[in-house]
Amino acid sequence: DQQVKQNSPSLSVQEGRISILNCDYTNSMFDYFLWYKKYPAEGPTFLISISSIKDKNEDGRFTVFLNKSAKHLSLHIVPSQPGDSAVYFCAASAGFGNEKLTFGTGTRLTIIP
């Protein structure tokens, strides 16, 4: 049972435009959400997180939105740059610090110059 779902395996976006990556979850106990970026032959790199008490968190070009009623979160990257081309994983946990991260299957983002 996939509790965290990223339904788009891939996404292509023009350089300079907005990239929107989506993630849905089914476990209502999840209260902490994270996005990771992964380049080939490297481990995932933490990007940004959001607690369930918030609905938005920004860090530079990256913004994460959380819609708890829809059990949906999204990552916005504005403006998109060629270096953003990577696989993006959404992850969630229940019980801050005490529970594992449950990952989605990832979305491969390609930024077209």
Partner 1 sequence: KAGVTQTPRYLIKTRGQQVTLSCSPISGHRSVSWYQQTPGQGLQFLFEYFSETQRNKGNFPGRFSGRQFSNSRSEMNVSTLELGDSALYLCASSFQGAGTEAFFGQGTRLTVV
CB nearer to partner 1: pick between 69 and 98: 98
Handedness of CA 3, 89, 43, 29 (dihedral sign): negative
Check binding of 109 to partner 1 (CB under 8 A). no
Q: Return the range that interacts with partner 1 (CB under 8 A); candidates 18-26, 68-76, 77-85, 88-96.
A: 88-96
Min. distance of Cβ 32 from partner 1 in angstroms?
A: 6
Q: Which parts of 33-72 interact with partner 1 (CB under 8 A)?
A: 34, 36, 41-46, 49
Question: How would DSSP label each residue in 34-82?
Answer: EEEEE-TTS--EEEEEEETT-SEEEETTEEEEEETTTTEEEEEESS--G
Task: Tell me the two tokens of residue 15.
Answer: 């350089």
Q: How many residues bind partner 1 (CB under 8 A)?
A: 26
Q: Which amino acid is at 12?
A: S
3-class SS of residue 40: coil
Site pattern 4..33 for partner 1 (x: CB under 8 A)? ----------------------------x-
Beta-carbon count within 10 A of 9 CB: 10
Residues that bind partner 1 (CB under 8 A): 32, 34, 36, 41-46, 49, 89, 91, 93-106
